[in-house]
Amino acid sequence: MITLDDILAARPRIAPYVRRTPLERSRTLSTELGTHVYLKCELFQRTGSFKPRGAFNQLLSLAPDERAGGVVGVSGGNYAQALADAGRTLGAPTTICMPDTAPRASVEATRAYGATVELSPTFPEVFARAEALRAAGARLLHPFDDAHQMAGVGTIGLEIHEAVPQVTDAVISIGGGGLITGIAVALEALVPGIRVWGVETEGAHAMGAALAAGRVVPFTPTSLARTLSAPYVAEDALTVMQRHAERHVVVSDREAFEAARFLLERTKLNTELAASCTLAAARRMRHRFGPDDHVVLVICGGNVSLDDWMTYARTFAAAATPRS
């Protein structure tokens, strides 16, 4: 498990390369939920998500000759773009292994950031190709189950505490668990009694499956929240959520979609379902917030395309149409 010291060490290391993202109080949501609500806008980070914090920390923790030998990652989403950008910036040749089913926008963006993209028909073949590259000398980096990744991401927790030192609640989405682990470790050390809420969507509830089993278990995602869909969660993430198990929330894709539409229309934030699910969870759990609480929703990414919105519209319009 990482510590606050790991996060504090990561901060100056990555500071020249990542942005301190905005944290704004939302008057509209504060009124709706009857508490003080803030949005930590990681969608304004480089490449459109929180992932560069960890990717830069991973690469900067390697020796220069290790970076020069090249790195490889497996991702069809935000980590692919983050690692590609970090690799280009730091002079590390980067290869991303993806399935053929990866979204076109993600493939194109990853290539545009300078990485070589290798596509394979199935996930076993994707991982086999990544392993072959590792065996040939490249450094294989994990998208979430990695101490340097988690420590880099934990700098979000430092920024939350500095902007809202009176924070009482942090609402954080869970994919593989790197995000919630890093932020929780920081805030638990800085804010005794902090309430950490972990949020998933139905069909991307790998943490829910792990909590039910009492251990990390394999999971097959089916949710539309594709950037939330991990095949398992990190052991450290499970340890964190076992401390906060009563604040684990699973929302539907529809709830996440309605929250994303609200954020787009009312706050002008174009968010992934993996990000908007935090608002969906806060709405569902509003009865557990008091008027003097200070609730931070981590808006983890904004890599949502027009194709995604069209898929959401078709899916939820069809679901709302009565059957004859």
d(C-alpha 274, C-alpha 210), whole Å: 19
Q: What angle, 0 to 180 degrees and rounded to 10, lies between the N-to-C axes of helices 273-284 and 253-262?
A: 100
Q: Note the CATH number of domain 51-145.
A: 3.40.50.1100
Distance between CA 260 and CA 274 in Å, rounded? Answer: 9
Contacts of 161 (CB under 8 A, 6+ apart): 167, 186, 187, 190, 191
Name the token pair of 35.
């508490």
Rounded-to-integer distance, Cα 314 and Cα 166, Å: 42
The reply to whether 4-49+148-320 and 51-145 are identical in fold is yes
- For residue 99, the cross-strand partners are 120
The sheet with strand 71-74 has its strands ordered as: 116-120, 94-99, 71-74, 139-141
Instruction: Tell me the three state secondary structure of residue 11.
Output: helix
CA dihedral 54, 55, 58, 64 (to 10 degrees): -150
Contact (CB, 8 A) for 246 and 275: no
What per-residue confidence (pLDDT) applies to 101?
86
* C-alpha distances out from residue 141 to 74, 83, 156, 215, 236, Å: 8, 9, 21, 23, 17
Cα-flanking dihedrals φ and ψ of residue 132, to 5°?
Answer: -65, -40
Given a contact cutoff of 8 angstroms between Cβ atoms, the answer to whether 178 and 150 are in contact is yes
Give the span between the Cα atoms of 177 and 250, in whole angstroms: 14
The closest alpha carbon to 273, from 49, 44, 97, belongs to 49
3-state helix, strand, coil in the chain (%, to 5): 55, 15, 30
Who's near 228: CB < 8 A, 6+ residues apart? 173, 174, 175, 200, 201, 204, 221, 272, 273, 274, 277
At residue 229, the pLDDT reads: 87
pLDDT at 317: 81
Tell me which residue of 159, 190, 157, 162 sits closest to 172, measured CA to CA.
157
Residue 321 confidence (pLDDT): 44
Per-residue three-class SS string for 202-244: CCCCHHHHHHHHCCCCCCCCCCCCHHHCCCCCCHHHHHHHHHC
Strand spans (E) along 90-151: 94-99, 116-120, 139-141
Could you state, in order of their start, the residue ranges of all structural domains in the chain? 4-49+148-320, 51-145
Give me the pLDDT at residue 76, please: 82
pLDDT in tens, the chain (324 residues): 999 999 999 999 999 999 999 999 999 999 999 999 999 999 999 999 999 999 999 999 999 999 999 999 999 889 999 999 999 999 999 999 998 988 889 999 999 999 999 999 988 899 899 999 999 999 999 999 999 999 999 999 999 999 999 999 999 999 999 999 999 999 999 999 999 999 999 999 999 999 999 999 999 999 999 999 899 999 999 999 999 999 999 999 999 999 999 999 999 999 999 999 999 999 999 999 999 999 999 999 999 999 999 999 999 986 554 443
Please tell me the distance from the alpha carbon of residue 54 to that of residue 302, in angstroms, as a whole number.
Answer: 17
What is the domain class of 4-49+148-320 according to CATH? Answer: alpha beta
Spatial neighbors of 226 by CB under 8 A, at least 6 apart, are 76, 77, 103, 274
Residue 323 pLDDT:
41
Cα 27 off chain centre by:
25
